Each structure stands twice: as structure tokens, then as C-alpha cells.
Structure 1
Amino acid sequence: MAHHFPRRAILGWLGLVALTGPAALAQDVEEPDPTDLVPRRFSPAEFASLDDNEIYMANLANRRGRAIRIDGCSAEASAEIIRTANADRAAGLEMLRRLCGG
């Protein structure tokens, strides 16, 4: 019977490691969100100078609930301009000129 105790102990430890091992090895490290780097405010000229990727990131940040304002526009108009520019840059910039005086 004495030789069964070590086997049970080893099997118990293996079971415990199997249940907790991956969770213990996985760190609770969050990956940085690149949309956190998007400014919360743009002048109309700054927004007009953004490239397609920067507009995409601003749109993504908006979709994730981050309020981004374009000077001279309401929050709703700013969000609409960002969405529009993401889909059609020329239309978004025209909307920017019309609504924000950019």
C-alpha cells in the first residue's frame, strides 16, 4: 500500500497542474489598445491632414466609446464626420468643411 501513495500524490499533483497550469502560466497582461493613442480633439485642419489609417483609428476609437471632438463641431457631428471620412474620405472632408468651418 505504501507504494500507491506516491503514485496518488503524483497523479493528484499532475491533475492540479493540468487544471491550474495554463491559467497560472497565462499572465493577466492586457495588450495596449492603439486607439488610446488617438487624440480626443482635432482642429479641422489637423483632421483634414490625417491619413486613411489615422482616420480608421479615430473611427475605431469612436466605435469603442471614446469621444473625439473636432473643433467647431458638436460631439454628434464630429462622430458622423469621422464615420463618413472612414468610409469615404472626400465626403467626410466635405462634411467637415460644411459643418465645422474647416
Structure 2
Amino acid sequence: MKQCSKVLLAFALSIGFIGQSYAAGSEQGDRPQGGPPAFSSIDTDGNGEISFTEFSAKDIPHGDHQTVFDEIDSDSDGVITESEFSSHKPPRREN
């Protein structure tokens, strides 16, 4: 019984630490594994829009900044809104 309690306590503590680590990463705007970065991590001035200057300060995995920015900026107004950012689906890689 004592051994079982120790195992359960270790398991509960592990789950707690994993949850805290994930929450801390999310608060910092880190990108989820394999996913896009958080909108707020790119919108550095916090005005609710991503300018090309803000966008170009981040590394992108494929293509050049201007081409990718223009793809996401669906209404071509020169800024990316949170709606445009969240609804953008990057092209799928061919396997």
C-alpha cells in the first residue's frame, strides 16, 4: 500500500509539473509543437495588427517574408489582423 501511494504521488506531481510547464510556455507566446506562433508574440506593439516590420522580425520556415505576408493579408490592406492570421492555412508540404 505504501509503495502504491508513492507511485501515485510521483505520478500526480509529474502531471502537475507538465501542466505548469505547458502553461508557462503558452503565456510567453511560444509556438505549439509544429504550429504557428501565437498572434500576440508577433504583434509586438499590441495594437491588434501585425505590420510587415513586426512580421519580418520573425523567422519563417518557408518562402520570403513579403510573399508569406501578402498571402496572410487577405484584404491587402498592409496589416495582418488576428482574424486573417487565425484563418490562414499554410500550404501543405508534399511528402
The TM-score normalised by the length of structure 2 is: 0.36
TM-score, normalization: structure 1?
0.35
Report the structure number with the largest CA radius of gyration: 1
Q: Which structure ranks higher in relative contact order (CA pairs < 8 Å, sequence separation ≥ 6)? A: 1
The answer to which structure has the higher helix fraction is 1
